[in-house]
Chain A
Amino acid sequence: MKDQPILEVTGLTKHFKIGRKQTVHAVDGVSFTLKRGKTLGLVGESGCGKSTCARTVIRMYDVTAGKVVLDGTDITDMDQKQLKPLRRKMQMIFQDPYASLNARMTVRDIIAEPLLAHGIVRTKTQANDLVYPMLEQVGLTKEHANRYAHEFSGGQRQRVGIARALVLQPELIICDEPISALDVSIQAQVINLLKDFQEEQGVSYLFIAHDLSMVRYVSDDVGVMYLGQLVEVCEADEIYRHPLHPYTKGLLGSIPIANPRLARQKVKSSMEGDIPSPINPPSGCRFHTRCPYATDRCAQETPVLKDAGGGHFVACHQV
């Protein structure tokens, strides 16, 4: 039971119909496993489907095809009523701490709401016994409880969002760009907080971000998505030291290096062009239109994700 992964996703596909004829292929055949107490990072350019993937996993969206197994339970086709008891196990932290907190509720009520909704406590007074320690755990105080979200800074708001997710003691938390809206000096505070919780409570994270160095730092495994598909996934350090997919290489090469001498050695930009539209994704390997190594085969045949050795999975004909 202990070895059972918290999350198993197989062939996950999410299409959105727009109008009568067109379909957005947001997520296409993504498979991964998230081990208990670990962190899987998902990276990729905007529009690559990483957020849609996470939101489909947590069943904010219905699944078009594929399978999602949470803690041994298949939740793929459950309706919202069946899902409700399971929602305790999976929570989400959002990017924008300004938009994701109700402006008309006090911090206490924001954190107490999930406790009441899941019937863990019956009254607000009972909720306080859980809310106050939670506030302290995220570095806020009892005095903050009666204030409204707008009275807080971005970093403090994100702490409230984290407290709301953690108060249910979930087993899986989806972190969708949890630090992107925060100042650099505040980002490290929030990341340390998330890491502490993982150590203390063994919570698992699906961590989505575009800051690749932060993703490497928090993740045990990292998956790279391109245009709705997972193109490479393996242990975090391995993917940064030995990227195999040309897209991963380009993505990593684009990270600004906080070292002026090393930065000057870069002669040209790592990747040309923009990500194509997911409405009519390119045939074969979806990256072939931007790939410097693409051959005829890449345009025709879709590469499958296969083990290149030691659990380093990559979907590329050239590897």
Chain B
Amino acid sequence: MQPVLEIENLRTSFMTSSGEVQAVRGVSFSVDKGEILGIVGESGSGKSVTSMSVLRLLADTAVIKEGSSIRFEGQEMTSLTKKQLRAIRGEKIAMIFQDPMSSLNPLIPVGKQVEEMIREHHPEKGKEELKRAALELFEKVRIPEPERRYKSYPHEFSGGMRQRVMIAMALANKPDLLIADEPTTALDVTIQDQILHQLRELDKEYGTSIIFITHDLGVVAELCDRVVVMYGGLVMEEAMIDDLFDHPAHPYTMGLLASMPDLEQDKSVRLTPIPGSPPDMTNPPAGCPFAPRCPYARNLCAAELPDFVETGERHRSRCFLQYPDAPADGNNPFAHTSGK
């Protein structure tokens, strides 16, 4: 099956007064049709910059480096003009963000804003038709009393309701790809739960592919089919959802899973944090970016960047310890899984 989106060797940097910040340093992955792909990582991992690079919604200081490729439905996006990208945005690719207030116009009733989104790409549609379509979308995302709420302004909505309006706008033109950047992070768990269910239903109904960016592995487990784990501007691990939780194949993923308590966590046992803090991307480490915090790191890890190793079906990990010739001593957590 042809993937909807193929990203290959994406490198995005920001040219700042204190030097080049290499936010994304060679990222490759693809998104299948109808698939919900999670991108997990902490702040500074490059997860948002990766997704913003697709529609080039980046600051003026950003540069997508030579040799990067982003193909959407077979079309190379990096060579398109801003105008051409604008025609795709909202029509074929839609985005929702963490803070819906910053994406909504405070002076225009929400219904009109949804209509505008449709008219932008379908100027032929009449007034009645637009209103009907917008109301239908409001019902779809379960905004109560759509007729009345249609005329409301964004400030009259709660955070959860605003995010629903954003989803309605994003779905207005039945996009092939929805990029959702931490859309539930600012919401309460109860509202997050509602939005996640909604996204899953919409994915089923429209067959829209979704890229869901989050720092929360719990959310990923609830929603995603497949996961990309990012750290220090690189993909560290990529796996089907069950595989990632059953057989994490990278020490960083293992660290993340170990550092969050679940509801069964023994309270007398201390949590296992990942020591240290993430790397400074103005001066990224030469080797594996996780090496300084990795409990299994060897000299080699700090010096050289490992390649990907296939550890299972559609499962790959960027770690020297997964190499066939990696020493199988006591400090290699994968010694028993590699079978060498």
Q: For the complex, is A189 an interface residue (Cβ under 8 Å from B)?
A: yes
- Could you list which residues of chain B lie within 8 angstroms of chain A, going by C-beta atoms? 42-43, 144, 158-161, 188-194, 196-197, 215-219, 221-222, 241-242, 245, 255-257, 259-263, 265, 267, 270-275, 277-278, 293
CB-based contact B218/A269 at 8 Å: no
Q: A213-B260, A216-B261, A256-B222 are in contact. Are A183 and B278 (CB under 8 A)?
A: yes
Q: For the complex, is A259 an interface residue (Cβ under 8 Å from B)?
A: yes
CB-based contact B265/A254 at 8 Å: no
Q: A183-B42, A184-B215 are in contact. Are A258 and B257 (CB under 8 A)?
A: yes
CB-based contact A255/B271 at 8 Å: no
Q: Which residue of B lies closest to A181 (CB)?
A: B43
CB-based contact A213/B189 at 8 Å: no
Interfacial chain A residues near B293, Cβ < 8 Å:
185
Q: A258-B245, A259-B245 are in contact. Are A188 and B272 (CB under 8 A)?
A: yes
Stretch at the interface among A99-107, A162-170, A270-278: A270-278
CB-based contact A155/B277 at 8 Å: yes
How many whole Å from B74's CB to the nearest CB in chain A? 31
Stretch at the interface among A2-10, A26-34, A124-132, A260-268: A260-268
CB-based contact A272/B194 at 8 Å: yes
How many whole Å from A136's CB to the nearest CB in chain B? 16
Our pick among A155, A210, A236, A272 for the contact of B188 (Cβ within 8 Å) is: A210
CB-based contact B221/A256 at 8 Å: yes
What 0/1 pattern do residues 38 to 70 of A give for CB contact below 8 A with B? 000000011000000000000000000000000
Q: Which residue of A lies closest to B188 (CB)?
A: A45
How many whole Å from B53's CB to the nearest CB in chain A? 22
CB-based contact B190/A188 at 8 Å: no
Interfacial chain B residues near A192, Cβ < 8 Å:
270-271, 273
Q: List 11 A-B contacts (CB under 8 A).
A: A45-B188, A46-B159, A153-B277, A184-B256, A185-B293, A210-B189, A213-B261, A253-B193, A263-B221, A270-B190, A274-B160
- For the A-B complex with A253-B193, A258-B260, A275-B188 known, give 9 more contacts whose Cβ atoms are closer than 8 Å: A45-B191, A184-B260, A185-B256, A185-B259, A192-B271, A257-B218, A259-B221, A260-B241, A271-B193
Q: For the complex, is A214 an interface residue (Cβ under 8 Å from B)?
A: yes
- With the chains together, A253 CA to B194 CA distance in Å? 11
Q: Which residue of A lies closest to B158 (CB)?
A: A274
Q: For the complex, is A279 an interface residue (Cβ under 8 Å from B)?
A: no
Most buried by A among B193, B256, B257, B267: B193
Interfacial chain B residues near A189, Cβ < 8 Å:
273, 275
CB-based contact B273/A45 at 8 Å: no
CB-based contact A255/B189 at 8 Å: yes
Q: Which residue of A lies closest to B216 (CB)?
A: A256
Q: For the complex, is A217 an interface residue (Cβ under 8 Å from B)?
A: yes
Q: A184-B259, A188-B273 are in contact. Are A217 and B267 (CB under 8 A)?
A: yes
CB-based contact A213/B262 at 8 Å: yes
- With the chains together, A230 CA to B48 CA distance in Å? 38
